[in-house]
Amino acid sequence: MGNQTNNQSILEAYKKALRKNNFEVFIVENHEEASLLFFDQILPKINPGIISWGDSMTMHATGVIERIRENEAYAIIDTFDKTISREEQIERRRQALQSDLFITGTNAVTEKGQLVNLDMIGNRVTGITFGPKDVVLFIGKNKFVKNLDDAMTRIRTISAPLNMKRHPLFKAPCQVTGTCHDCCSPQRICNTWTITEKSYPKGRIKIILINEDLGL
């Protein structure tokens, strides 16, 4: 009970900081609640024509993409379709930047309410930054950090090396050592950093803070 109360006050503090930065913010207890909130409140309000998404284990944990895929009422741009070539996937990622709704996660959130991300191709950080009319981010409490330095340390020592392990066809030293070597691998997944200080326009980026450890 004590821990739960403590977690809730931490979640509320991050919510307050993010709202100050013009993000629309929701708090839920777990990934099932995150999915319910998304389908019951957020999606009907946005009423998007075309939906797309960037890679995010937290987003996948909520199951929202499977539900969207199953419902033929939603038009989607699936940029991860394994039946198409890599070139076609990249072309779809370009098209996804003109979708109405873009869904993904984030690598870290600071106490000042800044979102910090590191991307390989750039489609995820671009979608968060500009293009899609609305953005929804699913974020577990394990992504909370103190400041920008801690965000970058977290991403270099946790997110990126673990993410590389998810891609057995890619090769980089962090897959062996578990930490970043600032490598020159052709498959390096760490190419573009973004710091999202505020949502512009106000409320374009909607954030669901989840009281669970989710994703990398």
Residue 180, interface with ligand SF4 (CB under 6 A)? Answer: yes
Nearest-approach distance from CB 13 to ligand SF4, in angstroms = 29
Nearest-approach distance from CB 57 to ligand SF4, in angstroms = 16
Which one among 30, 67, 185, 193 touches ligand SF4, defined by CB under 6 A?
185
Residue whose structure tokens are 């909607």: 206
Residue 117, interface with ligand SF4 (CB under 6 A)? Answer: no
Nearest-approach distance from CB 136 to ligand SF4, in angstroms = 26
Residue 216, interface with ligand SF4 (CB under 6 A)? Answer: no
Residue 142, interface with ligand SF4 (CB under 6 A)? Answer: no
Which one among 13, 181, 202, 213 touches ligand SF4, defined by CB under 6 A?
181
Q: Which long-range contacts (CB under 8 A, 24 or more apart) does 128-132 make?
A: 128/54, 128/102, 128/104, 128/194, 128/196, 128/205, 129/194, 129/196, 130/97, 131/96, 131/97, 131/98, 131/99, 131/102, 132/52, 132/96, 132/97, 132/98, 132/99, 132/100, 132/101, 132/102
Which one among 11, 68, 128, 174 touches ligand SF4, defined by CB under 6 A?
174
Taking alpha carbons only, the member of 205, 190, 35, 8 closest to residue 113 is: 205
Nearer to ligand SF4, 109 or 120 (CB): 120
Residue whose structure tokens are 């984030």: 106
- DSSP for 80-97, written as a single string: T-TTS-HHHHHHHHHHHT
Which one among 109, 189, 208, 209 touches ligand SF4, defined by CB under 6 A?
189
Taking alpha carbons only, the member of 81, 79, 98 closest to residue 90 is: 79
Nearer to ligand SF4, 174 or 210 (CB): 174
Residue 48, interface with ligand SF4 (CB under 6 A)? Answer: no
# binding residues, ligand SF4 (CB under 6 A): 14
How many Cβ atoms from other residues are within 10 Å of residue 153's Cβ? 14
- Residues in contact with ligand SF4 by CB under 6 A are 160-161, 164, 172-174, 180-183, 185, 188-190
